[in-house]
Amino acid sequence: MVKLYGFPSTTCTRFVALICKEKNIPYELIHVNLAKGEQKQPAFTAIQPFGQIPYIDDEGFILYESRAIARYLIKKYPNEGTPLIPSDPKAEALFEQAASIEAFNFTAFVAPIIAEKVFNPYFGLPPNEERVSELLASLLPKLDAYDFILSKQKYLAGDSVTLADLAHLPYGTAFYELGADFAEVFDSRPNLVRWWKDISNRPAWLAVKDGA
């Protein structure tokens, strides 16, 4: 059984748990207490030198960085659950294109918005609303491009769901739930919101949405 070292509610821990659910991979969550700073203790950084979660222990094979973990699990269990990474070279290239879109045209803007609006208040810091506005202004044309892409196909890499689609879920859900003004960013783009409702209602995500 894969051992997942993380914290149940964090975005990256839930992302790895999501992939385990999609691939029908049993996992054991090993709770890392962030409030006590366990991720910064020598015993932890000896394994994950950046002091970040999550990492996995797969029968002695240690791996960190959630995107790397997701790819590893998908490729190790190609015939289990949802495929998520195509094997055909052209289809895989389209997947890689979609994965880059997610990383550099979505998460690069949404993650810092969540940091300002969710993480800062959690630690007693006020959000920098000016920065949020700037990030949002940069994000909106990116989402117009999403809407255009999704007007032609069901998912970002074609007509089958891939890891590139699912990678949007942890930060995208936090963004969508910030309030009506943020939800409207998705809802006002018909192809984007159709896609979003599809992926955000997948049983695997609903199983880990509130905690890995």
pLDDT confidence tier of residue 122, bands split at 50, 70 and 90: confident
Structure confidence by residue, pLDDT tens digits, 130-176? 999 999 999 999 999 999 999 999 999 999 999 999 999 999 999 99
Tell me the percentage of the chain whose pLDDT exceeds 90.
96
Q: Is the pLDDT of residue 177 over 90?
A: yes
Residue 28 confidence (pLDDT): 98
pLDDT bracket for residue 56 (50, 70, 90): very high
Amino acid 152: pLDDT: 98
Helix/strand number for the chain, H first, E second:
12, 4
Neighbours of 211 (CB within 10 A): 13
Task: Give CA–CA dist 210/212, Å, rounded.
Answer: 7
Using CA atoms, how far apart are residues 17 and 54, in angstroms rounded to an integer? 10
Instruction: Report the pLDDT averaged over residues 100-126.
Output: 95
What distances in angstroms separate CA 138 from CA 70, 143, 167, one per listed residue?
28, 9, 20
| 68-82 residues labelled b (16+ CB within 10 A) or e (exposed) | ebbbbbbeeeeeebb
Residues 137, 185: Cα–Cα separation, whole Å: 11
At 101 the pLDDT is 98
- Ordered by where they begin, the domains of the chain are 2-76 (3.40.30.10), 89-206 (1.20.1050.10)
Q: What is the pLDDT of residue 38?
A: 97
In the predicted model, is pLDDT for residue 123 greater than 90?
no
pLDDT (tens digit per residue) in 79-96? 999 999 999 999 999 999
Q: How far apart are CA 13 and CA 168, in angstroms?
A: 14
Count of CB atoms situated within 10 Å of the CB of 89: 8
